[in-house]
Amino acid sequence: MKGLAGAFFLIAVIAALGGMVWGIQMSASGDHSLSPAHGHLNLIGWVSMAIFGFYYHLVPNAADGLLPKLHFGLSVAGLGVIVPGIAMAISDQGDVLAKLGSVLTLAGMLVFLVVVLRSRQTT
């Protein structure tokens, strides 16, 4: 897997490994208070990023142009902001990053919707 598909999939695997290590740490410590952040790391990081990677691999022309690169940037930024943001919100350190990460993640998904709709017209 190369290009954008490979980049999404690499992020997915890194997120999965991070989620696994974090899950083991929570289990070992008995402190599961940050499990919502852990869950978002797994669902957005592993699941969504892997699905994006598979889509771009299966529909190679969808990776053409600026929108798919914007999708990647927004998605990775969203993941990188929302996970620590949720952890901070749970720890009563403010919820600004959680909100920003949510908006970035939503924006990434909206761009992906446009990519999917656009690529349906060119296949």
The tens digit of pLDDT for each residue in 76-99 reads 999 999 999 999 999 999 999 999
pLDDT at 75: 98
Alpha helix (H) residue ranges in the chain: 3-29, 35-40, 49-58, 66-90, 96-122
Give mean pLDDT, residues 24-42.
Answer: 95
CB 44, CB 84: distance < 8 Å: no
pLDDT at 122: 64
The pTM (predicted TM-score) of the whole model is 0.92
Tally the domains of the chain: 1
pLDDT at 123: 55
pLDDT for 120 beyond 90: no
Q: How many CA atoms lie within 13 A of 115 on its CB side?
A: 24
CB 26, CB 34: distance < 8 Å: yes
Residues making up the chain, counted from first to last: 123
Domain extent, residue 44, equals 3-122
User: What does the mean pLDDT of the chain come to?
Assistant: 96
- Give the separation between CA 55 and CA 1, rounded to whole angstroms: 11
